[in-house]
Amino acid sequence: MKNLAKQGFVINKKQAEIITEEQEQLMWEKGVMGTDTPEKLLNTLVYQLGLNFALRAGQEHRNLRCGPYSQITVKQDSDGKTYLEYREDVSKTNAGGLLHRKVTPKVTRAYENTVLPDQCPVKIYQKFMSLRPKTGKCSALYLRPKKTPSPDCWYCDSPLGVHILQQTVGKLCEEAGFKGYFTNHSLRATAAKRLYKAGFDEQ
């Protein structure tokens, strides 16, 4: 690839497509997203967190933790509305190192959806957390679904494989029957597009 670039060939990286609000709603209506099975709940959580927090497709998802060092916490604002707060890690490596630049962690909120409670990111997160192993030692947020889940524990005490995690959005869109190139990158692009549409800077 590098040699081709040196020879003057232009290498176009395929861009992940944006997911429209209509497509998202269709995934709910078709039962592609939901909370009634371990795998579906896990996939829906990946989708919700990736979209609401505009996470980078690979490492930011993979780095999500639970426990005392979790980047995600459930909070209430002064009006009593519940939300998820995501606080970005600042220990990530950047060119020049942390000593050479000011790094302000990204802090983002995802509010409860009282109109469509089945699609509420807060409730989805809370349900997922309640079905993790009660005495588990794995600090990774995303865990492997159990093949034979019990009523109070749906997940193994081991992290979800990175390749399975990376394929989540593509799998959801394929199950919904969408044509096109959809990946976990689609969520970050979709978040930026929707913010821009709402009158906010895409960055």
Q: Is residue 157 part of a domain?
A: yes
Each residue's pLDDT tens digit, 132-167? 999 999 999 999 999 999 999 999 999 999 999 999
* pLDDT-derived band at 56, boundaries 50, 70, 90: confident
Judge whether residue 82 has pLDDT over 80. Answer: yes
Each residue's pLDDT tens digit, 112-138? 999 999 999 999 999 999 999 999 999
Judge whether residue 181 has pLDDT over 90. Answer: yes
Cα(169)–Cα(189) distance, rounded to whole angstroms?
13
Check if the beta carbon of residue 158 is closer than 8 Å to that of residue 144: yes
* pLDDT-derived band at 10, boundaries 50, 70, 90: very low
Residue 106's pLDDT is: 87
Q: Is residue 107 part of a domain?
A: no
Cross-strand partners of 143? 159
Q: Is residue 30 part of a domain?
A: yes
Q: Is residue 75 part of a domain?
A: no
Q: Is residue 151 part of a domain?
A: yes
Residue 203's pLDDT is: 46
How many CB atoms sit inside 10 A of residue 202's CB?
12
Judge whether residue 99 has pLDDT over 90. Answer: no
Judge whether residue 94 has pLDDT over 60. Answer: no
How many CB atoms sit inside 10 A of residue 59's CB?
11
Cα(63)–Cα(120) distance, rounded to whole angstroms?
23
Cα(169)–Cα(57) distance, rounded to whole angstroms?
10
Check if the beta carbon of residue 69 is closer than 8 Å to that of residue 139: yes
Percentage of residues of the chain with pLDDT beyond 70: 83
Rounded mean pLDDT, 12-18: 80
Residue 13's pLDDT is: 64
Q: Is residue 12 part of a domain?
A: no
Domain count, the chain: 1
Cα(190)–Cα(76) distance, rounded to whole angstroms?
26
Q: Which domain holds residue 184?
A: 18-64+117-197
* pLDDT-derived band at 5, boundaries 50, 70, 90: very low
Contacts of 61 (CB under 8 A, 6+ apart): 46, 49, 50, 55, 142, 165, 184
